[in-house]
């Protein structure tokens, strides 16, 4: 993906024209919600699915960091009881049930990512992380099959990985991702990731936080076949969008394999819940428009559209 | 608020069966996937690129699903599930209380709370989940620097960082850190109010 000359001016004009008024194109139903899942009873999950019955598009349900729960692979949940990987799958199934029950527009479908993260994994063994990634991929595949069997008109299932450089070494995140990616039949995986500390002016493979660099962010967010970049664009300054555009530019110029972005992740809803986030509370449209704008500043990274947009909140 | 909105959504759906009964026409999501495939190809990805193939398979499956009738979910009684939820709400009991305790009580693995508690702040800490008598929770990271850093998980989705609490003395290695029945935190001989 060396050059992207087509229709770049349209993207620039669109992004420049939008301002705070919202993007050029998206109906409100396509502005999806994503959640940190701190409440996971069957009723909670069904209720949350019902609450999202007016939405259509890509979104993610985020669980905590990989751990062992009841002797098998699982996740932490910020003080709520840890869940096994199977319980995570069950929670998502209940979410789909609630969504299907309440959805009134038959044209709406959710493309749901089931997410974990690279937080607190530095002390985990590489082979344990690989096995956890495989367990996650197997669960996501099985839930996807269940949805395709019972609710194919309502939803589709993906994996999701919130990887953030400040949360672990790149190798640890790599091992989890390799496990997921290597699982036979695993669906695609949203890379709802950050680029902490990555360069804001250069595209030469420069350093990010915690031993990561632009290559590592590209490797995790794009090089794996299953990875679908869906970056966190939180900063109101636009610096996060700039960082990702430069990762893309680096990959395009130096690796000959630039990225394609499937959506943006913002945290405006979560910021409202926590009482504010200074400088990192982009609205869903600001996040989307900043990424489109920065991608359009260089023909080598231009992308006509970034289709998905989702905003994070706590389900707690 | 969420429950009220869910009730509205349930009512507005006018019958769950309506949503489940008829096959949908072409959807916005299908158009979005097609646009992504076209965008990737325009950007120079070859037709055989794994991501192009993956999205083409996704799109084909979405389209194929429109033409076939789903099997009925054998375990689904979502109406009862949501009705049960409403009963809990009406009774004033915490949502989900009938299913499981919503919070751990005691030591938990430390992890960042996005936007509120960073990886650096939980590094080397002892983390404790401290349920409160009102059904809310405090997630407390007691750092090796002798500071208790607390995130409150409240009602209605409220999640907040509370003021840090310096302890009289940093916990010694292996020293017990545990919640009290009153919703405070005991660190060795100290009892700390965590909000």
CB contact under 8 A, B70 and A120: no
Q: What is the pLDDT of residues A133-165, one digit of tens each?
A: 999 999 999 999 999 999 999 999 999 999 999
Show the DSSP H helices in A20-108 as ranges: 42-51, 85-102
What is the spatial distance between Cα A192 and Cα B3, in angstroms, rounded to a whole number?
28
Of A97, A108, A314, the CB nearest to B76: A97
CB contact under 8 A, A3 and B44: yes
Q: What is the pLDDT at residue B18?
A: 39
ipTM, two decimals = 0.90
- Alpha-carbon torsion, ordered A290, A55, A61, A211, to 10 deg: -10
Q: At B116, list the tokens.
A: 């509120």
Nearest-Cα distance to chain A for B121, in Å, is: 11
Minimum CA–CA partner of B11 in chain A: A102
Per-residue pLDDT band for B6 (boundaries 50, 70, 90) equals: low
Of B65, B100, B120, the CB nearest to A153: B65
Q: At A131, list the tokens.
A: 């096995």
- A47 close to B2: Cβ distance less than 8 angstroms: yes
Per-residue pLDDT band for B82 (boundaries 50, 70, 90) equals: confident
CB contact under 8 A, B115 and A258: no
CB contact under 8 A, A43 and B85: yes
Best of B35, B36, B161, B162 to disrupt the A interface (most A CBs within 10 Å) is B36
Minimum CA–CA partner of A90 in chain B: B75
Best of A23, A24, A37, A79 to disrupt the B interface (most B CBs within 10 Å) is A79
pLDDT higher than 80, residue B12: no
Per-residue pLDDT band for B153 (boundaries 50, 70, 90) equals: very high
What is the spatial distance between Cα B26 and Cα B62, in angstroms, rounded to a whole number?
9
pLDDT higher than 50, residue A112: yes
Q: What is the pLDDT at residue B19?
A: 43
- A292 close to A7: Cβ distance less than 8 angstroms: no
pLDDT higher than 60, residue B103: yes
User: Within 13 Å of residue B137, how many CA atoms lie on the same side as its CB?
Assistant: 26
What is the spatial distance between Cα B188 and Cα A46, in angstroms, rounded to a whole number?
41
Minimum CA–CA partner of B25 in chain A: A107
Of A57, A267, A275, the CB nearest to B32: A57
CB contact under 8 A, A101 and B110: no
B108 chain-A contacts, CB cut-off 8 A: 76, 79, 82
Q: What is the pLDDT at residue B84?
A: 63
Of B9, B96, B114, the CB nearest to A102: B9
Q: What is the pLDDT at residue B141?
A: 95
Best of A5, A23, A50 to disrupt the B interface (most B CBs within 10 Å) is A50
Q: What is the pLDDT at residue B30?
A: 93
> What is the arithmetic mean of pLDDT over A67-76?
94
Kindly give the pairing relationship between strand A110-117 and strand A155-162.
parallel
B20 chain-A contacts, CB cut-off 8 A: 100, 153
Which of these ranges, A125-129, A274-278, B146-150, has the smallest mean pLDDT?
A: A274-278
Q: What is the pLDDT of residues A177-231, one digit of tens each?
A: 999 999 999 999 999 999 999 999 999 999 999 999 999 999 999 999 999 999 9
Kindly give the pairing relationship between strand A31-37 and strand A155-162.
unpaired
CB contact under 8 A, A225 and B113: no
pLDDT higher than 80, residue B117: yes
């Amino acid at each position: 993906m060396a050059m992207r000359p087509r229709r770049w001016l349209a993207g620039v004009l669109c992004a420049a024209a939008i301002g705070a008024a919202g993007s050029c194109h998206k109906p409100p139903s396509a502005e999806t919600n994503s959640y940190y899942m701190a409440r996971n009873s069957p009723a909670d999950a069904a209720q949350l699915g019902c609450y999202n019955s007016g939405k259509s598009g890509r979104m993610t349900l985020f669980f905590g960091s990989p751990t062992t729960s009841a002797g098998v692979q699982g996740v932490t949940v910020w003080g709520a009881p840890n869940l096994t990987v199977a319980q995570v799958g069950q929670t998502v199934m209940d979410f789909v049930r609630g969504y299907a029950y309440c959805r009134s527009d038959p044209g709406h479908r959710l493309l749901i990512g089931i997410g974990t993260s690279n937080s607190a994994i530095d002390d985990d063994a590489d082979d344990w992380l690989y096995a956890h990634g495989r367990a996650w991929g197997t669960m996501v595949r099985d839930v996807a099959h269940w949805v395709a069997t019972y609710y194919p008109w309502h939803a589709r299932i993906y994996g999701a990985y919130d990887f953030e450089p400040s949360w672990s070494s790149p190798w640890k995140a790599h091992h989890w991702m390799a496990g997921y990616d290597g699982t036979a039949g695993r669906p695609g995986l949203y890379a709802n990731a950050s680029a902490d500390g990555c360069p804001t002016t250069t595209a030469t493979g420069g350093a990010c936080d915690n031993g990561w660099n632009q290559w590592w962010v590209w490797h995790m967010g794009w090089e794996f076949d299953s990875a679908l970049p869906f970056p966190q664009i939180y900063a109101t300054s636009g610096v996060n969008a700039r960082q990702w555009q430069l990762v893309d530019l680096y990959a395009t110029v130096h690796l000959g394999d630039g990225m394609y972005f499937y959506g943006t992740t913002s945290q405006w809803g979560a910021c409202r819940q926590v009482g504010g986030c200074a400088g990192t509370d982009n609205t869903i449209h600001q996040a989307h428009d900043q990424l489109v704008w920065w991608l359009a500043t260089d023909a080598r990274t231009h992308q006509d559209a970034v289709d998905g947009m989702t905003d994070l909140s706590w389900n707690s | 608020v969420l429950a009220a909105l869910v009730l509205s959504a349930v009512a507005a759906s006018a019958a769950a069966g309506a949503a489940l009964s008829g096959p949908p026409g072409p959807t916005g999501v299908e158009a979005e996937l097609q646009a992504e495939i076209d965008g990737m190809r325009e950007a120079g990805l070859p037709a055989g690129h794994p991501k192009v193939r993956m999205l083409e398979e996704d799109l084909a499956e979405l389209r194929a699903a429109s033409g076939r009738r789903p099997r009925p979910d054998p375990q689904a009684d979502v109406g009862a599930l949501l009705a049960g939820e409403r009963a809990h709400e009406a009774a004033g009991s915490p949502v989900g209380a009938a299913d499981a305790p919503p919070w751990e009580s005691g030591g938990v693995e430390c992890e960042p709370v996005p936007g509120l508690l960073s990886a650096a702040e939980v590094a080397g800490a002892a983390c404790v989940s401290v349920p409160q008598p009102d059904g809310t929770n405090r997630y407390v990271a007691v750092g090796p620097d002798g500071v208790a850093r607390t995130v409150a998980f409240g009602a209605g989705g409220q999640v907040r960082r509370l003021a840090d609490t310096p302890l009289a003395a940093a916990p010694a290695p292996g020293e017990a850190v545990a919640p009290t029945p009153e919703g405070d935190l005991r660190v060795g001989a100290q009892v700390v109010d965590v909000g």
